[in-house]
Amino acid sequence: MNANNQHSKLQLKNAANAALASILNLTLLPVIGFIALYLIYKKTTPNNIDHYHAVLGMKINIIAAFVLFVVSGLMILLGGFNSPWTWVYVISYFTIVHTAFIVIALWALVRSWSGDKLKSNQ
Amino acid sequence: MKYESQGIAKMYFIAAIGLFVGQILFGVTLGLQYVMGDFLFPAIPFNVARMVHTNLLIVWLLFGFMGSAYYLVPEESERELYAPWLAKLMFWVFLAAGVLTILGYLLVPYATLAEMTMNHLLPTMGREFLEQPTITKIGIVIVVLAFLFNIGMTILTGKKTVITLVLITGLIGLAVFFLFAFYVPDNLVLDKYFWWFVVHLWVEGVWELIMASLLAYVLIKVTGVDREVIEKWLYIIIAMALISGLLGTGHHFFWIGTPDYWQWVGSIFSALEPIPFFMMTLFAFNVVNKRRRDHPNKAAVLWALGTAVMAFLGAGVWGFLHTLAPVNYYTHGTQITAAHGHMAFYGAYVMVVLTMISYSMPIMRGQKAANERAQVLEMWSFWLMTVSMVFITLFLTGAGVLQVYLQRYSETPLPFMVVQDKIEIFYWLREVAGLVFLIGLLLYVYSFFAKGKEVEDIGAAVTS
Ligand code: HEM
Ligand code: HEM
Ligand SMILES: [Fe+2]
CB contact, 8 Å: B455 with chain A?
Answer: no
Q: Cα(B276)–Cα(B225) distance, rounded to whole angstroms?
A: 21
B293 has which bridge partners?
Answer: B461
Segments forming the whole domain that contains residue A83: 7-113
Give first-to-last CA distance, chain B, whole Å: 30
Please give the pLDDT value at position B460.
47
With CB atoms and an 8 Å threshold, state whether A84 touches B410: yes
Q: Quick check: pTM over 0.90?
A: yes
Given the CA of residue B334, which atom of ligand 1 is nearest to it?
A: 41
Between the CA of residue B271 and those of A67, A91, B120, B156, B245, what are the distances in Å?
A: 25, 18, 40, 37, 10
Q: How far is A37 from chain B (nearest CA, A)?
A: 20
Confidence of residue B325 (pLDDT cuts 50, 70, 90): very high
Residue B462 has pLDDT above 60, yes or no: no
Backbone angles phi, psi at B201, to 5 degrees: -65, -20
What residues are paired with B461 via a beta bridge?
B293
Is the pLDDT score of B120 beyond 80? yes
Question: What is the pLDDT, as a whole number, of residue B189?
Answer: 94
Nearest to B313 by CA among B340, B289, B273: B340
Q: How many other CB atoms are there within 10 angstroms of residue B188's CB atom? A: 10
Q: pLDDT tens digits for B355-365?
A: 999 999 999 99
Does residue A118 lie within any of the structural domains?
no
Average pLDDT over residues B104-132: 96
Which ligand 1 atom sits closest to the C-alpha of B129? 16
* Cis? peptide before B296, omega within 30° of 0: no
What CA–CA distance (Å, rounded) separates B300 from B242? 28
Cβ atoms within 10 A of the Cβ of B328, count? 23
Task: Indicate the average pLDDT of chain B.
Answer: 96
Domain total for chain A? 1
Residue A47 forms contact with B (CB below 8 Å): no
Q: Where are the domains of chain B?
A: 1-121
Residue A120 maps to a domain = no
The reply to whether A81 falls in a domain is: yes
Instruction: Give the confidence band of B463 by pLDDT, cuts at 50, 70, 90.
Output: very low
Q: Across the interface, do A106 and B397 touch by the CB < 8 Å criterion?
A: no
Whether ipTM tops 0.90, in short, is yes
Mean per-residue pLDDT for B441-458? 90
Instruction: Please tell me the predicted confidence (pLDDT) of residue A120.
Output: 78
User: How confident is the model over B379-428, as pLDDT tens digits?
Assistant: 999 999 999 999 999 999 999 999 999 999 999 999 999 999 999 999 99
Which chain A residue has the Cα nearest residue B293?
A1
CB–CB of B35/B431 below 8 Å?
yes
Residue A63 lies in a domain: yes
**Is residue A91 assigned to a domain?**
yes
Per-residue model confidence (pLDDT) at position B461:
45
Q: Which of B57, B70, B71 is nearest to B17 (CA)?
A: B57
User: Which residues, 6+ apart, have CB-to-CB distance to B359 below 8 Å?
Assistant: B218, B221, B222, B297, B300, B303
Write down the pLDDT at residue B464. Answer: 35
Residue B349 confidence (pLDDT): 98
pLDDT tens sequence across A64-85: 999 999 999 999 999 999 999 9
Contact B209, B173 (CB under 8 A): yes
Rounded to 5 degrees, φ, ψ at B62 are -65, -40
Q: Do B38 and B72 contact (CB within 8 A), yes or no? A: no
Tens digits of residue pLDDT in B42-101: 999 999 999 999 999 999 999 999 999 999 999 999 999 999 999 999 999 999 999 999
- Full DSSP string of A4-39: GGGS-HHHHHHHHHHHHHHHHHHTT-TTHHHHHHHH
The answer as to whether A44 is a domain residue is yes
Q: Note whether A88 contacts B313, CB cutoff 8 Å.
A: no
CA distance A33 to A37: 6
Closest residue by Cα to atom 28, ligand 2, is: B27
Question: pLDDT tens digit string along A25-53?
Answer: 999 999 999 999 999 999 998 889 999 99
